[in-house]
Structures are given as structure tokens and as C-alpha cells.
Amino acid sequence: MQLESLRLFCDVVRLRSFSRAAEEHFVSQSAASQAIQQIEQHLGVGLIDRTKRPFVVTPEGEAFYGACRTLLDGWEKAKAEIGAVKARVDGTVRVAAIYSVGLHDASRHIQRFMSLYPEARVELECLHPHKVVEAVIRDQADVGIMSYPPTDRALTVVPLRQEPMAFVCHPSHPLARRRVVMPAQLNGEAFVAFDRELTIRKAIDRALRQHNVRVETTMEFDNVETIKQAIMIKAGVSILPRHTVEMEGRVRTLGVVPLGVPDLVRPVGIIHRRQKPLTPTASRFVQHLLKDASDAGGLTT
């Protein structure tokens, strides 16, 4: 017997009507009558005396009605308790993020999340991109935040935002005062690049080739912060995600100019293991990140 059949029986008894109970359950009166007959056959007793008008609930039916009500009330209580546990936001979320995201974004989002949910805790570790993937797959992190998230059968990828890129140089560089820097203006420039194996390096190289631009690579690094330091000592210019250099641009320790290549953006996404459901707290943290991205202007910010 299914719970819905028991609930239908209780409603027939409560309403003293097959037709009204059937209507509440969106079934025909015939289907309601058949469902009660199946219960009676299963129990081997009559629950409702249909020979009388209106029908009469038998003593066995009254006893069964009380038992069903207890069972159904317990079921509803169990669902409510499970729902309360599911809605509770506590425990720890382990987050692995690439350095540029961890240093510039994650701490602000984490502080806001923990202020909203005081019983929750977020542990952040900044890692090289391939280490972020490794940490998530090996269950060393619940959630990863990274640029150019890979396509992997073991991972679920949730797009977070698209970050515009900017031309970055020393404040004394001739291009530092431009309103926009076009690709052709980078020809022959000393260039501080990302390491060759990084996806962002490949994307930048591809964009430069498409515009027939040749730069002179002077240094290569695996993170934004070191590239910024190299630019500050006049080792060259670079192309970096705009939001990672906004503070330096405001205080004029770096020249930050929009790049005239609007389709060159850095995609940032959230990753987690496909075969491991997120905990309620981790799921709420992901929702929090997505809401912040949406509030800031959606996936194009």
C-alpha cells in the first residue's frame, strides 16, 4: 500500500464522501472506491459498509483510520525535520581558488557569507590552477573557483562570470594615458606573460595572433601578482584581468587601460565533484557566489 492510498482512505472517512475525497485527490470516484477496496483486500477486512446510505465506517475501519492518521502525521513530521536539517547552514566549506580570485574576490564573499550564516565556516586555500582541479577531484576541497574551468567527466562546472581584460603598464609608459589601447599599439612591446602552459596565456597569444601582433616576451610567471610586480619595475607591459588591477589603477601604481579586444575575456567558474552531492552549506555558498555575481551585473562583469 502506498501512502497516497492511506491518505485517500483517511479523507474518505473524514469527509464521509467518496466523491469529495476523490475530488481533493484529483482522481475519479470509481478510482477512489477501487483504492479503498484494494486496502480492504490486503487487510482481509471491510473498512467501510457500503450497503448503508450514507456509508458507515466499520469498527475495523475506525481502528485503521486512527492508525493511518498516526502514521501519516509521523511521516509529515519526519519530512519537516529533514527539511529543517537540509535548510540548516552550518559546518565547514572547503574552497580552493586560484590566486587572483582568492586574493581579490574570495575573502570579501567569504566574510559576507559567514556574517549571514554565523554557524558556517569557510576555509580558503589559494592554489595553482591545476592544483585547484586536483584538490576538488581528490576531495580535498568541496568547491573550486578558477578561470578557464576544464571540461572533465569528474567535474560539474557552474559559470560564474566573464572578466574583461585590460592593458597594464608602468604609469610612465606612453600608453598609460590612453583611453583605449588597440592591439596594433602593442607591436614590439616588451611583454610580461603568463607561463606557456596556462590557458590564459594561450588565450592571450591567440588574440594577439588574430590581430597580427608580435610582442617581445621578457618574463613569464604563473600568477597575476608576480606579473604586476614585474610591470612596476618596468620589465614590460602585459594583459591582465581588469578587476585584478583596479586598485593599482586607482592609486596610479600601475597604468590600467581598456583593451580594444572586447571578445578577449577570462571566464571564471565554480567546480565541484560530479558524483558527490554538495552539502547544504556548500550549496548555499555556491548560491551566494552566483547571487553576488548577478548583483554586480551578471556573468559579464
- pLDDT score of 1 more than 90: no
Those residues whose C-beta lies under 8 Å from the C-beta of residue 3, and which sit 6 or more positions away, are 72, 75
Q: What is the pLDDT of residue 254?
A: 97
Same domain, 273 and 136: yes
Q: Provide mean pLDDT across the span 137-147.
A: 95
CA angle 173, 181, 248 (to 5 degrees): 55
The residue among 87, 111, 136 that closes a domain is 87
Same domain, 159 and 72: no
Q: What is the pLDDT of residue 300?
A: 40
Mean per-residue pLDDT of the chain: 91
DSSP for 3-17 reads HHHHHHHHHHHHHT-
Same domain, 111 and 76: no
Domain at 114, CATH number: 3.40.190.290
Strands (E), the chain: 48-49, 56-57, 91-98, 120-127, 143-147, 155-169, 190-194, 216-221, 238-241, 255-258, 265-273
pLDDT tens-digit map of 194-215? 999 999 999 999 999 999 999 9
pLDDT tens-digit map of 162-201? 999 999 999 999 999 999 999 999 999 999 999 999 999 9
Closest CA to 186 of 165, 168, 172: 168
pLDDT tens-digit map of 119-139? 899 999 999 999 999 999 999
Q: Please give the model's pTM, rounded to 2 decimal places.
A: 0.67
Give the SS3 label for residue 172: coil
Q: Provide mean pLDDT across the span 39-55.
A: 92
Give me the half-sphere count of Cα atoms (radius 13 Å) on the Cβ side of residue 295.
7
Distance separating alpha carbons of residues 139 and 143, to the nearest angstrom: 9
Using CA atoms, how far residue 36 sits from 11, 29, 75, 282, 288, in Å, is 11, 11, 20, 45, 48
Distance separating alpha carbons of residues 129 and 131, to the nearest angstrom: 5
- pLDDT score of 301 more than 50: no
Same domain, 48 and 116: no
Domain at 76, CATH number: 1.10.10.10
Distance separating alpha carbons of residues 28 and 37, to the nearest angstrom: 14
Same domain, 290 and 214: yes
Determine how many CB atoms are found less than 10 A away from the CB of residue 131.
Answer: 17
Give the SS3 label for residue 218: strand
The pLDDT-based confidence of 296 (bands split at 50, 70, 90) is: low
Q: Provide mean pLDDT across the span 218-244.
A: 95
- pLDDT score of 299 more than 60: no
